[in-house]
Structure 1
Amino acid sequence: MRKEILRLENICKTIDGVKVLKNVSLNLYEGETVKLYGDEGRSLSSIVGLFGGVIKPDSGRIYIDGKEIKLASPLDGKKAEISIIHKKSDLIPNLTVMENLFLERKNYARGLFLKEKKQRARAVELLEILGLDISPDMMASDLKLEQMQIVQLGKALLDDRKIIIMDHTHILLDKEQIKLFEGVFNELAKRNVGILILAQNLRDFTSVSDRMYIMKEGSIIGNLMTSEMEKDKIIQMIAKDYYSEKSGIYLNQTSEEVLRVEGLSTKNMLRNVSFSLNKGEIVSITGSYGSGKYEVGYALYGMERTLGGKIYLHNKRIKIKNPSDAIKRKIVLLSFEKKENGLLYNLSAKENITISRLGNISNFAIIRKELENWLIKTVYNDLSLNIEDDNIAIEGLSLVNQRKVSLARAISCNPDVLILIDPTKGLENESKKQILELLVSFSDRGIAILLISSNLHEILQVSHRVWLFSNGTITGCIDRDMIESREQMNILSSFI
């Protein structure tokens, strides 16, 4: 019987008022590869933070080799023989592969010549085990992406780690590159290393996984053995409750085209992206992290340089080189992909809203209070924004009201096209519903909305159409008829 090397018991964590981990329990045995599959959001990243010692659970227990431990710092994680392979490489580009492998390992051998000789022999042996046909003298900057990540696994092997956490390292790799990892995992299993893979794609690494945990909205909803990993079964588990209640959100009919994109391409990510957006329409773009979905919004807003393609606004071709060009053409973007949300925290809620309209409410650089008060009153009513003191600093507002202030500033610009990236990220359910209802009200006024999100539930509630994104391009479309017909299996098969 295999030895249990890791166990989480009833782990709970709340961040910014949102329960990101709800009584999470899981375990890992030596020589076992376990996949943790779930929707994108704070839950999976919180698991990584937990093992890395940067996030402390509110309650629950962590056991290594049957002994309860506290992971209060990254050093505690290393002492517990846990190695985390992150999405972004931690290799130092201007060092060789061998130098990266033995960095901070000063006591590997005595004497400079003996040390280098032993390191080189060990590096060659390690690279052979990893299946990498490269020289130990190769610069890290010359490595391919998959080679970088496998070298990071080599560092964990060198340290004799008993537990390896893979944090979505596969998301930027194609199928052939992912196959390279499978041999490495088999080798690690022979050495009794336990591997936990955090994944947002159901297919990746399933062939080498012994078990799969399924996480939904912060809770573990399934623990499946290899023989039970049937796609339809997993989809049914994920889909449960998505359609059990009507959202109460009703969408308008759309016709007039506002925005059209043809063959949009960028240097690093987008490839031949084409779609259209009508007046009063909510079109969603979704895909896993690294799919390129965010880059669409940034390219349309002039934040990502385009190398090819055409953009048409009201049937006239336009060029957008920077955000200023976009704003002049009434294209506005709000991104909540990261914590930064564009708000000025040293200003009040009122000042954050009116700052984009100073030219309309002032004469000779002097703000006309009656116009400012009229604008604030109008915006507050439109967005159901309940702030008793509009001079309060932004940081004193709840997260949902901060989000509404961001939307208020955007809407005060009277946009024709509103691009929103993860507008409900980090919000609890009632707050999410408020934001979604606002988006629909904007749609009713004729604003064309491009919603870029990974939240399947909200996308299905408010979208007229959904574009599926993978590897920098559109791979499929779900129209409103399909959504309203509740074809759960077909829709979710497209996402997973």
Structure 2
Amino acid sequence: MDIVMENIHKAFGKNRVLEGVDIHIHEGEVHALMGENGAGKSTLMNILTGLHKKDEGRVTIDGKETTFENPKEAEKFGIAFIHQELNIWPHLTVLENLFINKEPISSFGLIQTRKMKAVASEQFERLGLSIPLNKEACECSVGEQQMIEIAKALMTDAKVIIMDEPTAALTDREIQKLFGVIQSLQKSGVSIVYISHRMEEIFSICDTITVMRDGRTVDTTPIPRTSFDEVVRKMVGRELTDRFPSREANVGEAVLRVEGLSRKGSFHNINFEARSGEIVGVAGLMGAGRTEIMRTIFGLDGKYEGHIYMNGKKETIKSPRQAVQLGLGLITEDRKEEGLILDFSIRDNIALPSLTSFTKNAFIQEKEESDFVDLLIKRLTIKTESAQTEAQHLSGGNQQKVVIAKWIGIGPRVLILDEPTRGVDVGAKREIYQLMNELTDRGVAIIMVSSELPEVLGMSDRILVIHEGNLAGELSKEEADQEKIMTLATGGNGHG
């Protein structure tokens, strides 16, 4: 299937999202689509698959002008879109999610469960997956849910598959499996549109790259003819001197200390401290228990064993409200479900944790609140027409900045960041890194959980590695490298 999109324009009200975009997707190629958050990548693909209607331009498929009325029509035609925000029904089984609205029915009107299991098992074998088909989707990790979505798209026998940030929640092992599947699909003539902010992946798996900026096509180039620095320059319209800003840590006293922290079935006997002015990186494979440890410290998951100390004083943290009062902030891994109230405005989302500081005699001081929110929007360069814009209308990277803004607003002593740059473009990533440096300069202790090893190595002063719910080791900035971290994360001795 050969797809050409020419001079595509799209506006939502006064907001012009696309202003003359061109892209040519050849049969059997892996075509990278890159650009900063808000550049219009997802909107362009939503136009191709019939979710949005274009204002101008034309789409031709195999030489014939084509318009789809809705995504289902596009899927029947052979174009599948795996969205960044997963379309999973949490209380249905894995099998039910794979076949939702597509269940095979016998001549007697009965669902053919045996046939469903056979097709699903064959697809899982192809992907190297071992997720039980009768497991509820809500019990699956984010990485497993992502692989279920990929399996679902492959079962439609698609000729073109659009993948929006497909590896954001996957382990290195799962990423390698996915790359193997992409290569086998490519050999059978399937085209992949690969939307990602992970430059290493783009250069590893893609044939061609189209770069977008501010709703326009900047360039389309074969991967062998370009470079990391050139792509970044085209994306952001300026030079980014270093991927990670340099930092000089001025480390002080321990602000947070945990001793013998345990939670049955999740993690055991965790001991570490976070000092003022430092960034402690937390690495490990998906499902190792990193997120569960942070949620427990923040009072999200109920009872635990062991001790938590804040500023040298032992505390029993029973709720997030208590954690916030003690000076703890947590930016969760899942911004849509836990980090934002999507139908609230940016202003309300940012101000929510800090409302008491604007309240006088039970009344909110609106000007103070407004000034506070505007300052954070400006400082974090959140791209929006107004502070009244609902959070759901922002791009993924700008949503992440709103989540960070709301926690910075409480003036935390300890800020826990769980996958802080997931789905965030290279320019916005650097802004988040600079912000982390500014916070540590002010004496904030930062704990950063990340699955991106370059990020862990580039930003951390110390690195904790978690393996199967245990603290496998601690590495200093000087001794840490990818090999040592991965060795510890898989149960080996990182100092060997």
TM-score, normalised to structure 1, is 0.58
Matched to 1:355, the amino acid is: L
Out of 34, 37, 57, which is 2:30 matched to?
A: 34
Matched to 2:356, the amino acid is: S
How do 1:212-291 residues align onto structure 2 when only pairs under 5 Å count? 212-213=207-208, 223-224=222-223, 244=241, 253-261=250-258, 276-283=273-280
Deviation at 1:348, TM superposition (A): 7.8
**Aligned pair 1:465/2:461, yes or no?**
yes
CA distance in 2, matches of 1:24, 1:457: 33
For 1:25, the equivalent position in structure 2 comes to 23
**Aligned pair 1:112/2:105, yes or no?**
no
String of CA shifts for 1:303-338, please: whole Å, max 9, x gaps: 245867754322444443320221232213456963
1:191/1:68 CA distance change after superposition, 3 Å = same
1:150/1:404 CA distance change after superposition, 3 Å = closer
CA distance in 1, matches of 2:184, 2:33: 23
Matched to 1:259, the amino acid is: L
How do 1:83-102 residues align onto structure 2 when only pairs under 5 Å count? 83-85=80-82, 88=86, 90=88, 101=99
Given that residues 130 and 150 in structure 1 are in contact (C-alpha distance below 8 angstroms), is that contact kept between their aligned partners in structure 2? no
For 1:194, the equivalent position in structure 2 comes to 191
Given that residues 356 and 413 in structure 1 are in contact (C-alpha distance below 8 angstroms), is that contact kept between their aligned partners in structure 2? no
Given that residues 326 and 332 in structure 1 are in contact (C-alpha distance below 8 angstroms), is that contact kept between their aligned partners in structure 2? yes
**66-75 or 171-180: bigger deviation:** 171-180
Out of 307, 319, 324, which is 2:321 matched to?
A: 324
Matched to 2:388, the amino acid is: E
Deviation at 1:223, TM superposition (A): 3.3
1:68/1:276 CA distance change after superposition, 3 Å = farther
Deviation at 1:466, TM superposition (A): 7.1
For 2:162, the equivalent position in structure 1 comes to 165
Matched to 1:323, the amino acid is: P
1:329/1:433 CA distance change after superposition, 3 Å = same
**Aligned pair 1:355/2:355, yes or no?**
yes
Given that residues 172 and 290 in structure 1 are in contact (C-alpha distance below 8 angstroms), is that contact kept between their aligned partners in structure 2? no
Given that residues 261 and 306 in structure 2 are in contact (C-alpha distance below 8 angstroms), is that contact kept between their aligned partners in structure 1? yes
CA distance in 1, matches of 2:69, 2:398: 32
Given that residues 197 and 425 in structure 2 are in contact (C-alpha distance below 8 angstroms), is that contact kept between their aligned partners in structure 1? no
1:465/1:304 CA distance change after superposition, 3 Å = farther
Out of 384, 388, 399, which is 1:395 matched to?
A: 388
1:382/1:444 CA distance change after superposition, 3 Å = farther
TM-score, normalised to structure 2, is 0.58
Deviation at 1:257, TM superposition (A): 2.0
String of CA shifts for 1:123-173, please: whole Å, max 9, x gaps: 857855874799xxx964379889988886776566543223345556656
* Unpaired stretches in structure 2, ≥5 consecutive residues: 380-385, 486-496
For 2:135, the equivalent position in structure 1 comes to 141
Deviation at 1:42, TM superposition (A): 6.4
Deviation at 1:45, TM superposition (A): 5.5
Matched to 1:112, the amino acid is: F
CA distance in 1, matches of 2:35, 2:472: 19
Deviation at 1:192, TM superposition (A): 3.9
Given that residues 261 and 312 in structure 1 are in contact (C-alpha distance below 8 angstroms), is that contact kept between their aligned partners in structure 2? yes
Given that residues 127 and 151 in structure 2 are in contact (C-alpha distance below 8 angstroms), is that contact kept between their aligned partners in structure 1? no
Given that residues 294 and 416 in structure 2 are in contact (C-alpha distance below 8 angstroms), is that contact kept between their aligned partners in structure 1? yes
Deviation at 1:415, TM superposition (A): 3.3
CA distance in 1, matches of 2:59, 2:289: 35
Deviation at 1:395, TM superposition (A): 0.9
CA distance in 1, matches of 2:424, 2:436: 15
For 2:382, the equivalent position in structure 1 comes to none
Given that residues 24 and 220 in structure 1 are in contact (C-alpha distance below 8 angstroms), is that contact kept between their aligned partners in structure 2? no
1:285/1:456 CA distance change after superposition, 3 Å = same
3-state DSSP of counterpart to 1:77: helix
CA distance in 1, matches of 2:399, 2:111: 56
CA distance in 2, matches of 1:288, 1:157: 26
Given that residues 130 and 184 in structure 1 are in contact (C-alpha distance below 8 angstroms), is that contact kept between their aligned partners in structure 2? no
Kindly report the root-mean-square deviation, in angstroms, between the aligned alpha carbons of the 2 structures: 6.7
Given that residues 201 and 288 in structure 1 are in contact (C-alpha distance below 8 angstroms), is that contact kept between their aligned partners in structure 2? no
Identity across aligned pairs (percent)? Answer: 24
1:122/1:234 CA distance change after superposition, 3 Å = same
Deviation at 1:278, TM superposition (A): 2.1
How do 1:47-86 residues align onto structure 2 when only pairs under 5 Å count? 49=46, 51-54=48-51, 62-71=59-68, 73-85=70-82
Matched to 2:250, the amino acid is: Q
3-state DSSP of counterpart to 1:355: helix
For 2:299, the equivalent position in structure 1 comes to 302
Given that residues 215 and 221 in structure 1 are in contact (C-alpha distance below 8 angstroms), is that contact kept between their aligned partners in structure 2? yes
For 2:444, the equivalent position in structure 1 comes to 447
